[in-house]
């Protein structure tokens, strides 16, 4: 029973860290993509 | 910072450090005599708690920096520290009860240390909620900085609670005076684990700050396009 607590504590903490790191990297990647798209639109010469 | 210690190198160092910490926790540190295996929760509980407290100190420093110099970088640092600090504070509130139940026989008690940690967690939420409700973009940074500075009082109370009052929570292990020591192998494990958690904290903070910078650049480009 005691080892269940140990297992739960470590599992939950790693899940918290991994999920946060993953959402952070996804948010960052989305922003970077949006930024690149916008930069491409700005630098692209407009058609007459 | 990016040139001296690129994020990829930081991540590699972090991965090695975490593996070493896990090795020390489960294979090197001795089994505690009275609590047994469950005492190994202490290593992540203590490291998360120290990191969450330090994170709030960074929120305080960043907030002071913003209020004093109106420095965007200081504000970004405070915001990033609050978001990552909240994650570490949540880890404290999860590991604490999971250790308390087998050790004390109860999940939770409203003693000074536990209550002030819970309030710290609520303060993190309050700070982050305030940041997300952008009613007046110029004003939200100031309001959040004020919360960051005032909230630091609770971080100090949280740190000092087990020194000022008799609590269910154990007396301090670090800087607690004579008789509060640990086995030298446990000390090494504590410091390596805390170091790994700090490395993780700074990795997440720099990622979060890079995101804030990208968001600002995006807003500027949008303004340019609209003009």
DSSP per-residue codes, chain A:
-HHHHHHHHHHHHHHHHHHHHHHHHHHHHHHHHHHHHHHHHHHSPPP-
Tokens 């305080």, residue? B60
Q: How far apart are CA B215 and CA B221, in angstroms?
A: 10
Query: A9 — contact with chain B (CB < 8 Å)?
Result: yes
Spell out, as residue ranges, where chain B has pLDDT lower than 70: 1-3, 134, 173-181
Quick one: pLDDT at residue B162?
A: 80
**Mutation for testing the A interface, residue in B189, B214, B216, B222 having most A CBs under 10 Å:** B214
C-alpha B196/C-alpha B203 separation (Å) is: 11
Q: Residue B51, CB half-sphere, CA atoms under 13 Å: how many?
A: 32
Separation in Å, CA of A6 to nearest CA in chain B: 5
User: For residue A32, what are the CA distances in angstroms to A38, B15, B215?
Assistant: 10, 25, 9
Question: Can you tell me the distance from the alpha carbon of B47 to that of B194, in angstroms, rounded to the nearest whole number?
Answer: 5
Residue A1 confidence (pLDDT) above 70: no
Q: Facing residues of B36 across strands?
A: B32
What does the pLDDT read at residue B139? 84
- CA nearest B49: which of B197, B204, B208, B200? B197
Q: Give φ, ψ of B32 to 5 degrees.
A: -70, 140
A31 and chain B: CB distance < 8 Å anywhere?
yes
Chain A to chain B Cβ contacts (< 8 Å):
77
pLDDT reported for residue B61: 96
CA B187/CA B65 separation, integer angstroms: 35
- pLDDT tens-digit profile of B140-158? 889 999 999 998 988 888 8
Chain B residues 101-160 within an 8 A CB cutoff of chain A: 101-102
Q: What is the pLDDT of residue B94?
A: 96
Task: Supply the pTM of this predicted model.
Answer: 0.90
Q: How confident is the model at residue A46 (pLDDT cuts 50, 70, 90)?
A: low
Cα three-residue angle B204-B132-B59, rounded to 5 degrees = 50
Residues belonging to chain A: 48
């Amino acid at each position: 029973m005691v080892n269940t607590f140990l297992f739960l504590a470590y599992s939950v903490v790693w899940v918290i860290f991994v999920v946060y790191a993953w959402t952070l990297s996804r948010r960052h990647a989305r922003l970077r993509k949006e930024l690149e798209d916008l930069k491409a639109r700005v630098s692209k010469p407009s058609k007459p | 910072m990016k040139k001296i210690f690129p994020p990829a190198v930081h991540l590699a160092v972090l991965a090695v450090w975490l593996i070493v910490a896990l090795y020390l926790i489960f294979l090197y540190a001795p089994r505690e005599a009275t609590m047994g295996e469950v005492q190994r929760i202490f290593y992540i509980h203590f490291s998360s708690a120290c990191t969450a407290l330090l994170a709030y100190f960074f929120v305080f420093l960043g907030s002071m920096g913003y209020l004093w110099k109106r420095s965007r970088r200081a504000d970004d640092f405070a915001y990033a520290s609050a978001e990552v600090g909240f994650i570490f504070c949540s880890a404290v509130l999860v590991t604490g009860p999971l250790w308390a139940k087998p050790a004390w026989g109860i999940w939770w008690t409203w003693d000074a240390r536990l209550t002030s940690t819970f309030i710290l967690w609520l303060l993190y939420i309050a700070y982050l909620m305030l940041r997300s409700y952008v009613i007046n973009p110029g004003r939200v940074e100031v309001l959040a900085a004020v919360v960051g500075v005032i909230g630091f009082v609770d971080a100090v109370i949280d740190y000092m609670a087990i020194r000022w009052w008799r609590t269910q929570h154990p007396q301090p292990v670090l800087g607690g005076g004579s008789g509060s020591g640990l086995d030298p192998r446990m000390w090494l494990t504590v410091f390596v684990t805390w170091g790994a958690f700090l490395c993780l904290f700074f990795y997440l903070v720099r990622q979060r700050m890079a995101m804030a910078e990208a968001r600002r650049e995006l807003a500027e480009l949008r303004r340019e396009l609209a003009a």
